[in-house]
Structure 1
Amino acid sequence: MNPVKTYTVDEATRKLENYCAYQERCHKEVRQKLRDMRMIPDAIDHIIHHLLHHDFLNETRFAQAFARGKFKTKKWGKHRIVRELKFRDISAYNIKKAMEEISEAEYYKTFHELAEKRMKQLERETNLQKKRKKLADYLLYRGWESNLVYEKVRELTA
């Protein structure tokens, strides 16, 4: 049988410094990683304090990077980004700061490009209702605001 790997507080601290340096992490991910390493609650608190104090862990920075990344690479709308940040227990203040990372102009430009690209993919669909539903579902799933989505669906299928 395989013995369970155990870590000293110093070993775990170094491992988590590398984990956080590799990419931005939220508190929830770090706490889970430490639990998976079978660290005791006091050690977890000590290590998280160390990571915060030495700026390896910064929830504001994480939220901003997350929002920028998901918007630019996955073309997520604000609703999806906010929902995912809330799921990671990010504070309302940090969510607000993260949403400021996305410029309004870039947001609408991306939305229109995404909608038009999806509309081209749906060219073969002859049933107008199905086409409208597929376009709306696609955009809503990605977290775009429903008023924008239904307005764009009407515009593109008129």
Structure 2
Amino acid sequence: MISHKAYSLAEATRKLESYCAYQERCHKEVIAKLKGMRMIPEAIDQITTHLIQENYLNEERFAKSFARGKFTIKKWGKNRIVNELKLRQVSKFNIKSALAEIEEEDYHKTLDELATKRLAQIHESNVQKKKKKLADYLLYRGWESNLVYAKLKELV
């Protein structure tokens, strides 16, 4: 049988402070972590409130950091970023401010680099299949379909 450590309110609070200080977290992750620690709902509310008041937990900051990171590191498009933030139950307001973090010029430049690089990796003689593979790749990464199809016309 697995024994679970019981945490006092102070211990759980300290543990969550370092959890949030290590990396930006959304409310959903923090609540899941507390539930995993077998904390009661009242304690979860109390700890979450403390983390927000002490600025360990800030959903807008999380959303902005998430959007910047996924765009610059993983080269995700806005659709994928929005869907992932919705999955984490981030508010519409915070999603909107997160997308504002991405410069329009950088966005188009990244799409161009990503599409060009991927096109060079696709070894397909049939032009339609080549276009489909590139489109599927870019759409999966969350790039808007109008941008994807414009890029296909330009490159293939």
TM-score interval w.r.t. the shorter chain? over 0.9
What pairs up with 1:31-42 in 2 under 5 angstroms? Answer: 31-42=31-42
1:39 is displaced (CA, Å) by: 0.3
Q: 1:113: which partner in 2? A: 113
Q: Deviations over 1:105-134 (max 9, x none)?
A: 000000000000001011x21111111110
> Hey, what's the Cα distance between the residues in 1 that align with 2:39 and 2:78?
36
> Hey, what's the Cα distance between the residues in 2 that align with 1:31 and 1:65?
19
Q: Deviations over 1:65-92 (max 9, x none)?
A: 0000000000000010011111111111
Question: Unpaired runs of 5+ in structure 1?
Answer: none
Q: 1:61: which partner in 2? A: 61
What pairs up with 1:1-158 in 2 under 5 angstroms? Answer: 1-122=1-122, 124-157=123-156
Relative to the length of structure 2, the TM-score reads 0.98
- Tell me, what secondary structure is at the counterpart of 1:111? helix
> Hey, what's the Cα distance between the residues in 2 that align with 1:93 and 1:136?
30
> Root-mean-square deviation (CA), in Å?
0.7
- Tell me, what secondary structure is at the counterpart of 2:73? helix
Relative to the length of structure 1, the TM-score reads 0.97
Stretches of 4+ aligned residues off by more than 2 angstroms: none
1:2 is displaced (CA, Å) by: 3.6
> Hey, what's the Cα distance between the residues in 1 that align with 2:86 and 2:38?
26
Question: Unpaired runs of 5+ in structure 2?
Answer: none
> Hey, what's the Cα distance between the residues in 2 that align with 1:3 and 1:66?
35
1:53 is displaced (CA, Å) by: 0.6
> Hey, what's the Cα distance between the residues in 1 that align with 2:99 and 2:2?
46
Q: Deviations over 1:12-31 (max 9, x none)?
A: 00000000000000000000
